[in-house]
Chain A
């Protein structure tokens, strides 16, 4: 099962197994990683699952779709490696992925 590492804003690091086909958001919520609210449950409707993808992984992800781009435009502290974690689907190729959670989702 792919391993995903979540690094909180305060530096707390957790590496957890996330089944392929799930999203990075679900991996966080199911493993009680704080800092990802995901109020809408992954429908790309609330922009409360913002993460920063570790630079070396950015190019390995499928690119942002239009809706994700539009939602992210309103995230706090947007960076070039910002993603909505509900839109990143975990695949075996993402084994080892590292994401960081922002200070706040609102």
Chain B
């Protein structure tokens, strides 16, 4: 193997480059990124970078010297256009093309756009990259009226930053609770209360009809009512960037389909990160949007490209920072799981364990890192622990693993 090309210069792309080199690969290595920035961390964008606590320079995952010292060629501000699987080349938006022996697709996701009248008015923002936040930050002025569309992680993290900065925040959500796709009803209720305590207003079951304004957003119309807005942040999810894979005839299924070794349906093409659908730890297939999956899957992809495949079956984990609350989640909860509360919601330090057929399948923790760490181990071990014992805070959590 002489030539590796990585499409996508995010967390997964750069991790694959790191692992390829640390595992001894000494051939050509090219990392192609559509944005003009070298690989950077996305999690702080909706938190410390938005609030201004973190300057841009601190977002970058590696110093510039890393790329020269490891002979990792960065091609930034360039998009991959087409994969020619027969010729084993990728053509790029600048008219050039790259030949590969192994290709890694780490193309990530893009924001889902709001399909509404007025959605392209000035003052309507999305949040995915550095540029998005640089546009959004000047709007974060005390007293401004922000309407957040979507009560997912991004929407709520922005709401928390905005509320702390003294903005008037209204969150519109189509479902009946916050973070409905990601957390249990108990957690949703807890976080809704916390946000309300910071004067955030919620409207659930909200059916958006239009974004209104003459030459700038002025209001959001919901079920005939006008919710006034100086600006709008839309956080209604992402879609995987799998068009280039699809066009090349690779199997896609809510993401670029890979096996447990991260190989696509072409044995010379691999995929890692948010763009993949892969065999899940808990069975079935899943597409994850997380740093953990990007890092771990990229490591596995690098090993597989080097002919040292190891099956990827990591326990997924996630986190979210809102106000002074650290939410850490391990495993993936499903409707129908039996939930066990450990600790008291009012103490703002508790966890919710999810049991599936008696086996610990997921844990959601708030300001309770020990429960999270032990929970991860219990999930990996597919442990069975009696609900009474899990709920008993007089039993030290360490003694459960």
B66 within 8 A of A: yes
Stretch at the interface among B215-223, B337-345, B367-375: B367-375
B58 neighbours in A (Cβ, 8 Å) = 22, 26
Closest to B53 in A: A21
Q: How distant is the Cα of A42 from the Cα of B319 in the complex, in angstroms? A: 12
Q: Report yes or no: A39 in contact with B319, Cβ–Cβ below 8 A.
A: no
Closest to A43 in B: B319
Q: How distant is the Cα of A31 from the Cα of B328 in the complex, in angstroms? A: 29
- Which residues 64-82 in B have Cβ within 8 Å of A in the complex? 65-66, 69
Q: How distant is the Cα of A31 from the Cα of B63 in the complex, in angstroms? A: 7
Give the dominant DSSP class at A's interface: loop
Q: How distant is the Cα of A67 from the Cα of B58 in the complex, in angstroms? A: 22
Write out, one digit per residue, whether chain B residues 311-344 have a CB within 8 A of any chain A CB (1) or not (0): 0000000010100001010000000000000000
Give the dominant DSSP class at B's interface: helix
A43 neighbours in B (Cβ, 8 Å) = 43-44, 319, 321, 326
A44 neighbours in B (Cβ, 8 Å) = 326, 369
B60 neighbours in A (Cβ, 8 Å) = 30
Q: Report yes or no: A41 in contact with B326, Cβ–Cβ below 8 A.
A: no
Q: How distant is the Cα of A60 from the Cα of B265 in the complex, in angstroms? A: 56
B9 neighbours in A (Cβ, 8 Å) = none
Q: Report yes or no: A39 in contact with B295, Cβ–Cβ below 8 A.
A: yes
Could you tell me the distance in whole angstroms from the C-beta of A48 to the nearest C-beta in chain B? 10
Q: How distant is the Cα of A68 from the Cα of B192 in the complex, in angstroms? A: 26
Q: Report yes or no: A45 in contact with B326, Cβ–Cβ below 8 A.
A: yes
Could you tell me the distance in whole angstroms from the C-beta of A72 to the nearest C-beta in chain B? 9
Could you tell me the distance in whole angstroms from the C-beta of A105 to the nearest C-beta in chain B? 13
B41 within 8 A of A: yes
Q: Report yes or no: A30 in contact with B373, Cβ–Cβ below 8 A.
A: no
Q: Report yes or no: A70 in contact with B370, Cβ–Cβ below 8 A.
A: yes
Q: Report yes or no: B291 in contact with A39, Cβ–Cβ below 8 A.
A: yes
A42 neighbours in B (Cβ, 8 Å) = 44
B91 neighbours in A (Cβ, 8 Å) = none
Q: How distant is the Cα of A73 from the Cα of B401 in the complex, in angstroms? A: 14
B292 within 8 A of A: yes
Q: How distant is the Cα of A90 from the Cα of B60 in the complex, in angstroms? A: 18
A47 within 8 A of B: yes
Q: Report yes or no: A74 in contact with B326, Cβ–Cβ below 8 A.
A: no
A22 neighbours in B (Cβ, 8 Å) = 58
A78 within 8 A of B: no
Q: Report yes or no: B291 in contact with A73, Cβ–Cβ below 8 A.
A: no
Q: Report yes or no: A32 in contact with B370, Cβ–Cβ below 8 A.
A: no
Q: Report yes or no: A47 in contact with B295, Cβ–Cβ below 8 A.
A: no
A88 within 8 A of B: no
Q: Report yes or no: A45 in contact with B41, Cβ–Cβ below 8 A.
A: no
Q: Report yes or no: A32 in contact with B292, Cβ–Cβ below 8 A.
A: no
Could you tell me the distance in whole angstroms from the C-beta of A54 to the nearest C-beta in chain B? 24
A71 within 8 A of B: yes
Q: Report yes or no: B319 in contact with A40, Cβ–Cβ below 8 A.
A: yes
Q: How distant is the Cα of A74 from the Cα of B60 in the complex, in angstroms? A: 28
Could you tell me the distance in whole angstroms from the C-beta of B24 to the nearest C-beta in chain A? 15
B41 neighbours in A (Cβ, 8 Å) = 41
Q: Report yes or no: B44 in contact with A67, Cβ–Cβ below 8 A.
A: no
A45 neighbours in B (Cβ, 8 Å) = 319, 326, 328
Could you tell me the distance in whole angstroms from the C-beta of A32 to the nearest C-beta in chain B? 6
Q: How distant is the Cα of A15 from the Cα of B295 in the complex, in angstroms? A: 28
Given A22-B58, A71-B373, A74-B373, A40 and B291 contact (CB-CB distance below 8 Å): yes
Q: How distant is the Cα of A39 from the Cα of B41 in the complex, in angstroms? A: 10
Q: How distant is the Cα of A92 from the Cα of B44 in the complex, in angstroms? A: 25
Q: Report yes or no: A32 in contact with B369, Cβ–Cβ below 8 A.
A: no
B66 neighbours in A (Cβ, 8 Å) = 32
A-B contact pairs, 13 of them (CB 8 A): A22-B58, A31-B63, A32-B69, A41-B41, A41-B43, A41-B44, A43-B326, A44-B369, A45-B319, A45-B326, A47-B373, A67-B369, A71-B373
For the complex of A and B, the 3 pairs showing the least CB-CB separation, nearest first, are A70-B369, A45-B319, A41-B41
